[in-house]
Amino acid sequence: MGYDRVMAQREYDFIVLGGGVAGLAAGYRLCKAGKSVLMLEKDKRIGGLAKTLNINGFLFDYCAHRFHSANPGVMQEMRDLMGPNFVEHRQKSRIYLFNKYLKYPFEMQNLLRAMPKIEAVRCAFDFAWNTLIRGFNKREIKSYADWFEYFFGKRFYKFMCYPYTRKIWGMDPQYLSADWANQRFKGPDIPKLIRTVLKKICTLNFSSFSLEDEEFLPDSGLFYYPIHGGIQAMPDRFAEEVQKHGGIIHTGVNVSSISAKTRTVIFEQDGMTQRATANHGLISTIPLHAYTALLEEPVPAQVTENLRQLRYMDIIFVFLFVDKERISNDTWLYFPDKDIAFNRAVEFKNWSSDMAPPNKTSLCLDITVTPENRHFWGMSEKDLIEKCKQDCEMLGLCTSKEVFDFKAVRIPHAYPVYDLEYRPKLDSILQFIESFEGVYCIGRTGVFRYNNSDNSIEMGLELGKRLADEPVRGKSMRSYEFSGVSY
Ligand SMILES: Cc1cc2nc3c(=O)[nH]c(=O)nc-3n(C[C@H](O)[C@H](O)[C@H](O)COP(=O)(O)OP(=O)(O)OC[C@H]3O[C@@H](n4cnc5c(N)ncnc54)[C@H](O)[C@@H]3O)c2cc1C
């Protein structure tokens, strides 16, 4: 008899689908409360989007991850979990506009100085006028374009918002829901902004456009990042704790079916088929499409149609190994120009010296795959790298000769796409999935929410806390509100 025909059967208090930080945080909380937990992860390694690859002494995150939470409880939990490996950094980022490296988030006087003079004057007047009349503007804020124009006016929108947003999402910010901005950014403190600009102008304090510029923005955010191990250190610490408290984590698993009614999951691992039942709760952190495709129960036609219309965006990470001590001193570099293949560049050495061997450095370039640049997804690794190397050379980051190795990683379902109609469709899908008693969805792909890792962790910890208290009813995280914007 082949191994694949052996069917082991087990029962647990909880089963968690997906070993990203949301699932791990939920598993951690539940195990610590004495519950038996089984975690099932499709990939060979845990971590999901917060993963780090180790290639010949170079550590590459799936794009660098800065960690910060507006929830003091989550911050404390993470400091305790990570111990001395978690250190505080200050963000320093630039954006390439008008052929110059400008401070980012934008510093008003830095931006105005980089613009053609006539445009700078127009923008300044438009901004001043917009600020004066803003209180009387009763227009409904539906899209990201509405949100941005409400705070900064139409002229700044053209330079500060449109090009980069259009490039990342492949869609006009008019069609992107304002929910994205509300979850992501705080509205600006206009009086403070004006005071800062005037002070800088009066004291003739104009920062440079050089990549070597060491000056931080006055409000540059603080964040945490591990000294050792890249961002993977975070999921790894959760996993250690889960296992220490008796939880089981299976990786490289192929889930073949889910019965939501009985909370039973059938999966294969190492050629063996197993059946596991969750007596108290089944927690899904996997993409909504993947979860519903595995269901034994029939999915209503309207839910299937809504799923068809809900879109995740894929991403490609291009990792370059560079024979150079340093490229810049920035946390991130942003590239809104549509002719440049990538949106952002991250030099990991600026996050921790552990990330590259001495005298060498590396870059992670991210390319979101939109309907407009879909050809990148199928492009050969050689052609993709060639294009990235050319762009890096043109931008003055490194020469093609200095790049001595490379790797491209393609990740599906990396970003939920918030178009203007997504909300009711999402609600109907989540309502259906959670209509089965004891089934819960959390996480970035799991609830189609533009989570940062802290948000996913917060959801996991909170759900774990709610479920650890019997009885298991009314604990859904569907409409959970975060404590605030983390960045
Ligand atoms: C480019 C980029 C940059 C980012 N930068 C930051 C940042 O600077 N700071 C920050 O805090 N956050 C950042 N994030 C967000 C952060 O990565 C995510 O919020 C977080 O990692 C999501 O964790 P999760 O557990 O919710 O989801 P995921 O990490 O997506 O976990 C879901 C897991 O489910 C598994 N899975 C999928 N299908 C199945 C299946 N059928 N069976 C079993 N398992 C399955 C997946 O393999 C995955 O491990 C960034 C994300 C991206 C894409």
pLDDT tens-place string over residues 456-471 = 999 999 999 999 986 5
Of 480 and 343, the one with more pLDDT: 343
Q: Bridge-partner residues for 257, per DSSP?
A: 266
Interatomic CA distance for residues 151 and 148, integer angstroms: 5
pLDDT at 188 over 90: no
Label residue 9 by pLDDT band (50, 70, 90). confident
Of 218 and 480, the one with more pLDDT: 480
pTM of the model: 0.91
343 lines ligand 1 (CB under 6 A): no
pLDDT at 2 over 50: no
b/e per residue 429-457 (b: at least 16 CB within 10 A)? bbebbbebebbbbbbbbbbbbbbbbbbbb
The fold of 3-50+66-90+228-309+419-468 is: FAD/NAD(P)-binding domain (3.50.50)
Pocket test for ligand 1, best of 17, 255, 285, 314 (most atoms within 8 A of CB): 285
Interatomic CA distance for residues 259 and 263, integer angstroms: 5
Of 136 and 324, the one with more pLDDT: 324
Interatomic CA distance for residues 34 and 25, integer angstroms: 15
Q: What is the pLDDT of residue 159?
A: 84
User: How far is ligand 1, taken at its centre, from the CA of residue 197, in Å?
Assistant: 38
Among 68, 52, 86, residue whose Cα is nearest residue 231: 52
User: How far is ligand 1, taken at its centre, from the CA of residue 444, in Å?
Assistant: 6
20 lines ligand 1 (CB under 6 A): yes
User: How far is ligand 1, taken at its centre, from the CA of residue 20, in Å?
Assistant: 6
Closest atom of ligand 1 to 255 CA is 42
Cα maximum dimension of the chain: 83
Residue with tokens 């929910």: 179
Instruction: Supply the mean pLDDT for the chain.
Output: 90
For the ranges 172-186, 281-295, 325-339, which has the lowest average pLDDT?
172-186
User: How far is ligand 1, taken at its centre, from the CA of residue 453, in Å?
Assistant: 8
Pocket test for ligand 1, best of 232, 453, 459 (most atoms within 8 A of CB): 453
Report which protein residue has its CA nearest ligand 1's atom 6: 65
Pocket test for ligand 1, best of 266, 334, 452 (most atoms within 8 A of CB): 452
364 lines ligand 1 (CB under 6 A): no
Q: What is the pLDDT of residue 480?
A: 86
The fold of 108-206 is: protoporphyrinogen ix oxidase, domain 3 (1.10.3110)
23 lines ligand 1 (CB under 6 A): yes
Phi-psi region of 34 (alpha: psi -120 to 50; beta: other; left: phi over 0): left
User: How far is ligand 1, taken at its centre, from the CA of residue 454, in Å?
Assistant: 11
Q: For domain 312-416, is the CATH number 3.90.660.20?
A: yes
* Bond preceding residue 471 cis, omega within 30 of 0: yes
User: How far is ligand 1, taken at its centre, from the CA of residue 152, in Å?
Assistant: 32
Interatomic CA distance for residues 428 and 441, integer angstroms: 13
Q: What is the pLDDT of residue 461?
A: 96
Q: Write out pLDDT tens, residues 403-431.
A: 999 999 999 999 999 999 999 999 999 99
The stretch 366-383 carries a mean pLDDT of 93
Of 485 and 244, the one with more pLDDT: 244
All structural domains of the chain with their residue ranges:
3-50+66-90+228-309+419-468, 108-206, 312-416
Report which protein residue has its CA nearest ligand 1's atom 26: 443
